[in-house]
Amino acid sequence: MSAAESRPVDRAASLPKPSPENRVYLRDLPTPTELVPEIEDYARRHGGWFRRAKERRYAENSLKLRYYFGGHLVAYLRTPDGYAIVALDSLGECMYESLRNVLSTEELAQLHMTVVVPWPMTEEWIISGPR
């Protein structure tokens, strides 16, 4: 496999740049058809009939995060409207400082920062890690 074939596609580059003022909600991004079987399988395995919708939303959010933002450092909020991406690829401490100046105290309590594992996982990413 060549390096070009194993490198994850940077799908975040085609999206608007997230910011606290211009949040990118995962629910607004289309669900790629290649994720649907994994989402349905997760919901079936982890939720009875009464929990299936909740487990499906969880799987859809998790896989869309990996699909669109895999390999990036992402800051997101868990909101009643779902995950809202508020920053992308700043150094962790600098990102937090800039977000601290614009987010409310309640929003800061909901802030999560993580390096997102790409979907699908590639050999190059396993060896070299995030960008």
Residue at 104 is within a domain? yes
Residue at 130 is within a domain? no
Listed as ranges, residues in the chain with pLDDT below 50 are 1-4
Q: What is the pLDDT of residue 1?
A: 46
Q: What is the pLDDT of residue 36?
A: 93
Domain that holds residue 81: 18-121
The Cα 24–Cα 3 span in angstroms is 30
Residue at 59 is within a domain? yes
The Cα 82–Cα 99 span in angstroms is 19
Q: Which residues contact 82 (CB under 8 A, 6 or more apart)?
A: 25, 26, 27, 57, 61
Q: What is the token pair recorded at 12?
A: 């975040």
Q: What is the pLDDT of residue 54?
A: 81
Number of domains in the chain: 1
